[in-house]
């Protein structure tokens, strides 16, 4: 049986987008309540009956959340241009080594805008 599981996280952070045109609202410093969905996928072992413990996903994401929560994203190495797309890839690159079943990262920057990233 193949399944996808999702665990959601949130953090508060500020950013500004240096590649946007002068005068664009996103070029100015502003903040978001970011929501991140970490999605894992795979075949459920018949003996276990579950793919992965949700607690393992939480534990893998904890150091990433600590790096991002209540920080200016532009000041974090690798996030100098912290668009939702770049943030999704940044999280993926740090999470994939410790979470091999990682299938997708979804960044919700606002209630109506999201970026889905599935690796390279």
Whole-angstrom Cα distance, residue 26 to residue 119? 25
Cβ atoms 81, 17 nearer than 8 A: yes
pLDDT tens profile 76-110: 999 999 999 999 999 999 999 999 999 999 999 99
Which pTM value belongs to this model? Answer: 0.96
Instruction: List phi, psi (to 5°) of 93.
Output: -60, -30
pLDDT tens profile 5-41: 999 999 999 999 999 999 999 999 999 999 999 999 9
Other CB atoms within a 10 A radius of the CB of residue 30 amount to: 11
Domains along the sequence of the chain with CATH: 2-117 (3.30.479.10)
Q: Is 65 a catalytic residue?
A: no
Catalytic annotation, pick one of 24, 70, 80, 85 = 70
Cα distances (Å, whole numbers) of residue 18 to 28, 32, 101, 113: 9, 16, 33, 19
Q: Is 111 a catalytic residue?
A: no
Catalytic annotation, pick one of 35, 65, 104, 109 = 109
Average pLDDT of every residue of the chain: 97
């Amino acid at each position: 049986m193949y399944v996808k599981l999702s665990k959601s996280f949130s953090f508060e952070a500020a950013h500004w987008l240096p590649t946007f045109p002068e005068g664009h609202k996103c070029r100015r410093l502003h903040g978001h309540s970011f929501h991140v969905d970490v999605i894992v996928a795979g075949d459920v072992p018949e003996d276990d009956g579950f793919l992965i413990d949700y607690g393992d996903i939480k534990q893998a994401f904890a150091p990433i959340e600590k790096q991002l929560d209540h920080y200016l994203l532009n000041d974090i190495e690798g996030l100098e241009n912290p668009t939702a797309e770049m943030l999704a890839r940044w999280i993926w690159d740090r999470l994939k080594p410790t979470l091999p079943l990682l299938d997708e990262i979804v960044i919700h920057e606002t209630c109506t805008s999201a970026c889905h990233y599935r690796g390279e």
